[in-house]
Amino acid sequence: MDGSPLRLISTNPVDTLARTVEALLVVASQPLTVDEIAEATADDPERVETALGLLGERFREGRSGIVLEHVSGGYAFRASREAADACARMFERPVERNLSQAAMETLAIVAYLGPVSRPEIARIRGVAADSTVAGLVERGLIAEAGREAGPTGAVRYRTTPLFERVFGLESLAALPRLDDLGAEAEEIRTRLLTIAS
Amino acid sequence: MGLAVRDLELDLDAFEGPFDLLLALVVKDQIAPAEVDVAGIIVAFVERLAERDELDLEACGEFLVLIAALLELKARYLFPEEEAELAELEPQEAAEELARRLAEYRRMKEAARWLAERLDGERERYFRLGPAPLAPVFERRLADQDPARLAQALRGLAVEPPKVSLSHMALRFPPVGQFLERFRAVLRRRRVFDFDTEVHGLSRVEQAVAFLALLELRKSGEIALAQARPFAPIRVTRAEQERNLQWTAARSA
């Protein structure tokens, strides 16, 4: 012992920034982008990314009950997976509870084709979409996004950041390519054309 | 025994019950055809067919006719503006259009399955849910308004609405005394009369008051009442006449 005081808290500038970022993420109820954090901390975005890297190492699965994740275009804290059972006993998951097949199909259409109107959703699914769309709006998974041009002026919908967060997507770009999902569709096309000819 | 298509039990989002009732409701415009999940009906029918050992061709034929009619109704309802456009298509073009739409729907179904699997895999992710600001705020602007027309509309709202008359709801009870005098007068002319015949043609309220008068006369001992069985006509007799009859009957016994 050289008699100097114990340094429990690092004075490294990036560490200080990381603690501030950590505080912001605890207060935020939605993912924060690097730019938003940089503006709030009045710091450089590159340094913010470095600080986020430190936090990512500190708050990761197996090391902490809180995990930092990159989701919905930003950064947010969530509970670790090992705490899921305890969370399940205490908290509901109202947003995704009892999502019907119709709701999932409507969500897929809005996610891939949005902004898209109810008539367009009904045309693709072959069933009126009014109540399903209303239910998804109420859950906060989709929201209004303007109106169609033309005489009908139907309201158009798109997915919300909450949709990306619930499904654990960094962005809509993380969805699989639509063409990759249509292998069987090509079969239908060929079969129908064979029957028709 | 054949498979009764009309009795086919359905459990759809918009309807639960037998198939023929669904058809009746659609025809009567009580369920919009767009709300009907035709694929769901077909699945229900095929499941019923699969439960049987033999193929019921008659039931299949009937089902095809009914489901085709329903499908046509729904198509006209969903795509009224496309009717003319599709009618102009050659069979090959129509098939291609149908294939294109089916392919599009199939891709979306696959996407929905992917999302469902994704959601299932994310069951262990718990996070803090924020309130409304998570949804993007959409500003809906009102069209330009003419102040004079707005003022006119407001003046229309400021007018006190006419009072609704409830006079037709008031019950008017005739006095019991009126029927007391009436029944006494009848008994002065006749020894016996039939209550139901006497009050025939009166309103329900008047009949009720007449019955109260009858009970009043019985209570005061002026009349005797007799009824062969429940709900049979009520026979009303002068009290002394009844007593004489009883005395005559006792003597002859």
A108 touches chain B (CB under 8 A): yes
What is the model's pLDDT at position B245? 60
Residue A120, domain member (yes or no): yes
Q: Which residues of B touch A123 (CB under 8 A)?
A: 78-79
pLDDT band of residue A1 (cuts 50, 70, 90) is very low
Average predicted confidence (pLDDT) for chain B: 79
A111 and A72 belong to one structural domain: no
A20 and A54 belong to one structural domain: yes
Higher pLDDT among residues A113 and B139, named by residue: A113
Most confident region among B47-61, B159-173, B214-228, B234-248 by mean pLDDT: B214-228
- Which sequence spans correspond to the domains of chain B? 5-82, 176-252
Most confident region among A3-7, A48-52, A86-90, B33-37 by mean pLDDT: A48-52
The C-alpha atoms of residue A182 and residue A184 are separated, in whole angstroms, by 5
**Whether pLDDT at A129 is above 80:** yes
State the amino acid at position A47 in one-letter form.
R
What residues are paired with A71 via a beta bridge? A74
A115 and A46 belong to one structural domain: no
Number of domain units in chain A: 2
- Out of A90, A116, A136, pick the residue that ends a domain: A90
Q: Which residues of B touch A169 (CB under 8 A)?
A: 118
Residue A23, domain member (yes or no): yes
What is the model's pLDDT at position A137? 93
What is the model's pLDDT at position B90? 66
- Out of A58, A90, A122, pick the residue that ends a domain: A90
Q: What CATH number does residue A145 fall under?
A: 1.10.10.10
- Answer yes or no: are the C-beta atoms of A107 and B113 closer than 8 Å: no
Residue A28, domain member (yes or no): yes
Mean pLDDT is lowest, of A38-52, A125-139, B61-75, B215-229, for B61-75
Task: State mean pLDDT over B51-69.
Answer: 77
C-beta atoms of B107 and A84 within 8 A: no
A186 and A105 belong to one structural domain: yes
pLDDT band of residue B81 (cuts 50, 70, 90) is low
The C-alpha atoms of residue A105 and residue A37 are separated, in whole angstroms, by 35
Mean pLDDT is lowest, of A52-61, A187-196, B10-19, B143-152, for A187-196
In this structure, whether the domain defined by B176-252 belongs to CATH 1.10.10.580 is answered with yes
A35 touches chain B (CB under 8 A): no
The C-alpha atoms of residue B214 and residue B196 are separated, in whole angstroms, by 11
Q: Which of B213, B203, B209 is nearest to B180 (CA)?
A: B213
A124 and A149 belong to one structural domain: yes
**Whether pLDDT at B53 is above 80:** no
Report the gap between the CA of A161 and the closest CA in chain B (Å).
7
Residue A133, domain member (yes or no): yes
pLDDT band of residue A55 (cuts 50, 70, 90) is very high
Task: State mean pLDDT over A58-77.
Answer: 91
What is the model's pLDDT at position A183? 53
Q: Containing domain of residue A29, as a range?
A: 13-90
Report the gap between the CA of B93 and the closest CA in chain A (Å).
9
Residues 6+ apart with CB under 8 A from A68: A25, A52, A55, A56, A58, A59, A60, A75, A76, A77
Average predicted confidence (pLDDT) for chain A: 84
Residue A73, domain member (yes or no): yes
- Which pairs from B122-127 meet CB under 8 Å and 24+ separation? B122/A166, B122/A167, B122/A168, B123/A84, B124/A81, B124/A84, B125/A78, B125/A79, B125/A81, B125/A84, B125/A168, B126/A78, B126/A79, B126/A83, B126/A84, B126/A87, B126/A88, B126/A91, B126/A93, B127/A76, B127/A77, B127/A78, B127/A79, B127/A165
- Which pairs from A19-22 meet CB under 8 Å and 24+ separation? A20/A51, A21/A48, A21/A51, A21/A52, A21/A55, A22/A55
C-beta atoms of B110 and A188 within 8 A: no
Q: Nearest CB to B107: which of A96, A182, A193?
A: A182
A105 and A182 belong to one structural domain: yes
